[in-house]
Structure 1
C-alpha cells in the first residue's frame, strides 16, 4: 500500500514530464468524448487525479462545464492552475476530501487505481454519491482484482483494483446505469467504464 502523500511526492518529480507528454495528447480522448456524449451540456465537472490539466479540461470547457480538479501532487496542481487559470484545482486526496457540491460530470482517468486496495470500494461509492441526477462518471481500473507495485520512470508505483464485477456492482448499487465498459488496451488489463446516475424523477 502507498499512502497518497507518498504518491503525490512521486508525481511531483515527474510533473513537468507528464505535462509535456499529455497536455496535447489524444490518449483517452475517444472514451472521454463518448462519456461527454451521454452528459447534458454544461454544469459542474470534477476531475479526480487531474494532473496538469490539458486535453480533458479543454474538452470540458468546450462543453460548458465549470471544473474542479483534485490531485495529490502539489506540482501537478500548480501546473494545472497555470494552464487553466479560470478553473479550480485543489491539492487534495479523494479518499478524505469532502464537499457539499454535486457534479454533472466526473472523470477519474488513470488515477484511482493508485489508491490503497481497501479504499477502492469507498472511493467508487463516493464518486457515485457526488454525482447529480443525470450525472455521468467515467473512470479507469484494472481488470484483475488485487494489488501490486511496478517500476515506472525509475520509481516504484502502487496499483490496486477490485476488478470488473465489483466495480459494476457498486455502480448498480448506487442507482447508476452502465452505459459503456471496455477493456480498451487489450492485452493490457486496462478497463474504462461510463455510467449515468438515474434521475429521481425517472424512478
Structure 2
C-alpha cells in the first residue's frame, strides 16, 4: 500500500458502507487464515462460542467456524456488511456494533479481529485490549492482525481510500502483558498468510 490522499480515519466502517458489495466480490476466496483458525479450533472446548469482530460479510472466517460446527457471533459496524452477512448465513447471529463500544454480558472462548482491528486509529487501539479481555473466558484465545511499526497507511479499495493504523511491536507486547495475555504466536509478514502480521494470545487472568 502507498500513501494516498486522506479520507475517513475515525470510522472506517463508513467506507465499507460504500464498498461492501465490491469488497465481498473481490476479497480473496481462499482461507489463507486456516492454519491459525485450525489451531484455535483445536484449543476450543466443546460447545465453544467465538466472537468475530469486524466479521464483514462472514466470508471466509466466520464461514470457516460454521463449517467446523463452531457457534459464532459476528459483529461489524458497517450496515452493508452486516446485511450481506445475514444473507450469506441466515441461521447465524450478527450484531451491528462498533467494536470500540462493545459491552456484552456474554464471554467467549475465542475472539477474532482479523484485518479489522487495524482499521482503528492508533489512539483507539490500546483500549481494545481491555475490551478483548472483558469478553474472553479464562484461557480464551485472541487472534488479531496488526502492522509492525507505529504509523498510518492508506490503501485504495473499490475506488475509496481505506485507513489502516498500527502501534509498534513492543507496544502490542506491553498491552497484551498488562491485560494478562500470554503470547502464543507472533508471526511477522507470514508468507503463507498473505504477508499478514499475526498475533495469537491466550487470556491468563491472575
Band the TM-score falls in, shorter-chain normalisation? 0.7 to 0.9
* Residue in structure 1 matched with residue 181 of structure 2 by the alignment: 176
Q: Report the alpha carbon displacement of residue 189 of structure 1 after superposing the two structures with TM.
A: 7.2
1:39 to 2:44 alignment: yes
Give deviations 1:136-192, integer Å, cap 9, x for gaps: 110000111122333333221211111211112222222222111101346x97411
Q: Report the alpha carbon displacement of residue 72 of structure 1 after superposing the two structures with TM.
A: 1.8
- State the Cα RMSD in Å: 2.2
* Residue in structure 2 matched with residue 144 of structure 1 by the alignment: 149
For structure 2, the 5+ residue unaligned runs are 1-7
For structure 1, the 5+ residue unaligned runs are none
CA contact (8 A) 1:43 1:64 kept: no
* Residue in structure 2 matched with residue 134 of structure 1 by the alignment: 139
* Residue in structure 2 matched with residue 100 of structure 1 by the alignment: 105
User: Normalized against structure 1, the TM-score is what?
Assistant: 0.86
Residues 36-115 of structure 1: pairs in structure 2 closer than 5 A: 36-115=41-120
Q: Report the alpha carbon displacement of residue 194 of structure 1 after superposing the two structures with TM.
A: 0.6
CA contact (8 A) 1:142 1:189 kept: no
Q: How many residues align?
A: 197
- Name the SS of the counterpart of 1:25 in structure 2: coil
User: Normalized against structure 2, the TM-score is what?
Assistant: 0.85
* Residue in structure 2 matched with residue 17 of structure 1 by the alignment: 22
Higher RCO by CA contacts (8 Å cutoff, separation 6 or greater): 2
- Name the SS of the counterpart of 2:100 in structure 1: coil
CA contact (8 A) 2:155 2:162 kept: yes
